[in-house]
Amino acid sequence: AEPLGAARRTGRSRAVIAAGPMLALPLGALLSVEYGPRVIFYLMCVTSLIGMWLALGLPSAAHPMAASTRRFQWPDSVAMWSFIEGLTLDGLFIIGLSLLADHLLQGNAVVVAGTLLALRYVSELLLSPLGGVAAQRWGATRMLIVFSLMTSIALIGFGFHWLIVGGALVLILRALQLPLVVTVIAQRHPDSGRVRALAGNAVWRDIGAGIGPLLAGFLLPVAPSEWVYGGAALCLAVSALACVERKKIQTNK
């Protein structure tokens, strides 16, 4: 979590992390169709035991934490952006893309969803390191805002039925954004509060990613896609611009 070189390290880390789901999602879908879902849980048990064994090699020393009397803290601008990003891109967009592909391809829904989610991780594997390089060269906050605004435009295009172009652009831009958040947090928080800020940001992003699919299930069957994805694009753009507003306020102080 050190600020120096964090963007490049995070980009490489995201690429390595994405390799697992990229391989497991389509393979799991095919195994589930062929042998049923029970075999998937057996495989999950085995891989979890391997992960437990690998965890024994992690450093055992505790990271210094900032003293805080509050267990719950309201999200700052970056955490709110992560919440909106999880809600719109990991929720509304991914679920909508899966429903659309199942309708157009007329295939098995499990295989289609697994393949699309694997493509999401393929984009992370290939492009997250490039996002880290861009942040290192032009600044993490600046590139986070630029990529978010471009993603908002792509979401609007996706909502207006530019399905292939809009969907591909959203996947590409999402992968480029992923390494930037950790770098922004590392730059904005002191050493003692960095781990707490990273953990809180991850929690808010997961909350958004959990609400997003539920919201997609309510909205997509009844609301026009132009309104759904246009509203999602607006929320993402506003949350990104809120990050630059906070930066200006801190600079003036």
| pLDDT for 192 | 66
Number of residues that make up the chain? 253
pLDDT digits 0-9 by tens, 87-119 = 998 888 888 877 776 666 665 666 666 777 777
* Domain annotation covers residue 26: yes
Helix, strand, coil percent values for the chain (each to nearest 5): 85, 0, 15
Look at the chain and report how many structural domains it folds into. 1
* Domain annotation covers residue 155: yes
* Domain annotation covers residue 177: yes
Q: Reduce the DSSP state of residue 145 to 3 states and report it.
A: helix
| pLDDT for 247 | 41
Q: How many other C-beta atoms can be found within 10 angstroms of the C-beta atom of residue 101?
A: 19
Q: Which two tokens stand for residue 33?
A: 């169709």
Residues in the chain with pLDDT values less than 70 = 1-11, 14, 62-72, 101-113, 190-192, 245-253
| pLDDT for 151 | 95
| pLDDT for 227 | 93
The CATH number linked to 146 is 1.20.1250.20
* Domain annotation covers residue 29: yes
How deeply is 108 buried, as exposed, middle or buried, from its count of CB atoms within 10 A (0-12, 13-18, 19+)?
Answer: middle
Domain range spanning residue 113?
Answer: 6-51+76-252
| pLDDT for 25 | 78
| pLDDT for 147 | 94
* Domain annotation covers residue 64: no
| pLDDT for 145 | 93
| pLDDT for 44 | 87
Q: Which two tokens stand for residue 168?
A: 């591909």
| pLDDT for 63 | 60
Rounded CA gap, 127 and 23, in Å?
A: 17
Supply the pTM of this predicted model: 0.77
* Domain annotation covers residue 206: yes
Q: Which two tokens stand for residue 3?
A: 């600020």
**Taking Cα atoms as reference points, which of 85, 125, 94 lies closest to residue 112?**
94
pLDDT digits 0-9 by tens, 165-181 = 888 899 889 888 888 88
* Domain annotation covers residue 168: yes
* Domain annotation covers residue 68: no
Q: Which two tokens stand for residue 116?
A: 């699309």
Rounded CA gap, 88 and 145, in Å?
A: 16
